[in-house]
Amino acid sequence: MNDLVHTILAAISGLVKRRPAAGSKDRDPEAATAILCVLGEEQDRAVMAEICRSNQWRVFFAAGQEHGREILRRGSIQIVLLDRDLAENDWRRVMTTYAAESSRACVLLVSNVVEDYLWNEVVSHGGYDVLSKPLRQVEAARTVRLARSYWMTARATT
């Protein structure tokens, strides 16, 4: 069953990957936005697939936290969406691990609960922000754009 889920998610990721713009063959491949989504809800994955498609961003869907770590190790991911409820382990440990392994990727926690205390915990564990579930297209797109801008600025200054 797990192999089937990985195969389906890999196929979806392949359909939504960023298409190069005309005349962009000389662009820095690191500048292309790549987003890892470790999301449990199909509705949330669909929202992120649409956001990434419309912005021509690459998106990778992981079936679970360990699969997400494998994707992080393989590629240059700038933004990670981590579903708090998809907890094989404590989300705090997973967030700390993702932030450490992903060369300063902005990790966004997706949660049913959004409050200042949770946001403080996210930041203290290396995360960037909290998004409420279910994902709403306008809010998710705005937050991902801000995380992308932050990532690009931090990358330019290091």
Of 3 and 142, the one with more pLDDT: 142
Task: Show Cβ contacts of residue 74 under 8 Å, excluding neighbours closer than 6 positions.
Answer: none
Distance CA 18, CA 117 (A): 35
- The pLDDT value given to residue 25: 43
With CA atoms as reference, report the closest residue to 81 among 73, 10, 102: 102
Distance CA 10, CA 158 (A): 32
pLDDT classification of 6: cutoffs 50, 70, 90: low
For the chain, list the domains and their CATH numbers.
2-17+32-157 (3.40.50.2300)
- The pLDDT value given to residue 70: 92
pLDDT classification of 152: cutoffs 50, 70, 90: confident
Q: Report yes or no: 158 and 151 within 8 Å, Cβ to Cβ.
A: no
With CA atoms as reference, report the closest residue to 19 among 54, 70, 71: 54
Single pTM value for the model: 0.79
pLDDT classification of 31: cutoffs 50, 70, 90: low
| pLDDT exceeds cutoff 80 at 108 | yes
Question: 124-153 burial, b if ≥16 CB within 10 A, otherwise e?
Answer: ebbbbbbbebebeeeebbebbeebbebbee
Query: What is the rounded average pLDDT of the residues 69-92?
Result: 87
Distance CA 149, CA 64 (A): 27
| pLDDT exceeds cutoff 50 at 24 | no
DSSP 4-48: HHHHHHHHHHHHHSPPPPTT-TTS-GGGS-EEEEE-S-HHHHHHH
